[in-house]
Amino acid sequence: MKIRDVISKIEKRIPLQQAEDFDNVGLLCGSYDRNVSGILVCHDALENVVDEAILKNCNLIVCFHPIIFSGLKSLTGKNYVEKAVIKAIENKVAIYAIHTAFDNDFFGVNAGICQQLGLKNLKVLQPKKNNLKQLTVFVPKEYSGQLKESLFAAGAGNIGFYDECSFTINGSGTFRPKEGSDPFSGQQDIRENADEDMVSVIFEGYKQGQIVAAMKSAHPYEEVAHQIYSLDNTNQYTGLGMYGDFEVPMDEKDFLKFVKEKFNLEVIRHSDFNGKKIKRVGVLGGSGASGIKSAISKKCDAYLTGDVKYHDFFLAESKMMICDIGHFESEQFVTQQLFEILSQKFSTFAISKSIEKTNPVNYFI
């Protein structure tokens, strides 16, 4: 199996189009056409991880954080990024990063945190906006079923935990073929009345090209009458962060002890105690101070994330306890999650989890 085949299967499960615009996801170095000898899954593709991949005969590293985030103007080994990339290229090891594509996935980074905490009734904290579109297309009634099957196969009509969603209205359409046309039915210069269905489906914007192509290939008309609308609806199943509820509320100190145990933490930085029971918890793996206001608006009693600055803690304003558990610590389950996903999809070559330490933050207790 070639690297491009592996990537194709990964991206059917975790589409890169889910990633944030600022991110640098996908194949960062290496050839799509090289055969895969093994896959090493890691958090950060540092030089010591590349060494591990070489030792384990893995020529594809699937990492969470992109080792190349901003542009490289030279490759001389002057810093940790260039050292890792040079070693990977010299040893024909490809590096593929998933990052915010997995952050925004409903079953991704934040679902892993919620699962570890045992939260129920999970919802996305910051749902994607301007993400959904609607296609309306007019088709002869006898071709309506065929058209819908083609649209569904292309990914249209997927809404949360449902797929093959559509709406159909029957009616009468008119058209008049002009000179140069090759009509499916009717004659030139004579108005035709047709028994047609109006079929509507919703889809994520990044699928538009493949869905329009599927529509045209399954449609009998020379000119396909259709409209595509951008929707104001938020996508409730894609976005950053999650929140959920404990079945039994906890005291604040008991909650912090519980989090320390579940995440194997040395320390938790947190805002003032409010004397409230902790029932609803919001989470956002990595640098998540941007989600504080969203967590408050969702009436969360506590919010777990990393990289919270001094002034960010003031935003709690006695409404919610903000907990900084550390950037790496909040994402620590990602490697296992990716390992499980890849293990389910590939069985013909070795898949390993990196054992190398890549967290740059240390604590003196």
149 annotated among ligand-binding-site residues: no
Give me Rg for the CA atoms of the chain.
Answer: 25
Q: Reduced to 3 states, what is the DSSP secondary structure of residue 263?
A: helix
Both tokens of 233, joined, read: 């609806």
DSSP codes, 303-352: EEEE---GGGGGGGTTTSEEEE--HHHHTTTHHHHHHHHHHHH--SSEEE
| Polymer length in residues for the chain | 365
Residue type at 355?
A: I
43 annotated among ligand-binding-site residues: no
Both tokens of 165, joined, read: 């969603």
Q: State which H helix or E strand residue 116 sits in.
A: helix 109-117
How do 60-65 and 38-44 pair as beta strands? parallel
The contacts of residue 314 (CB under 8 Å, 6+ apart) are 271
Which has the closest alpha carbon to 244: 104, 117, 359, 149? 117
Q: Please report, in range form, the residues annotated as the binding site.
A: 65, 103, 327, 331
Binding site members for a divalent metal cation? 65, 103, 327, 331
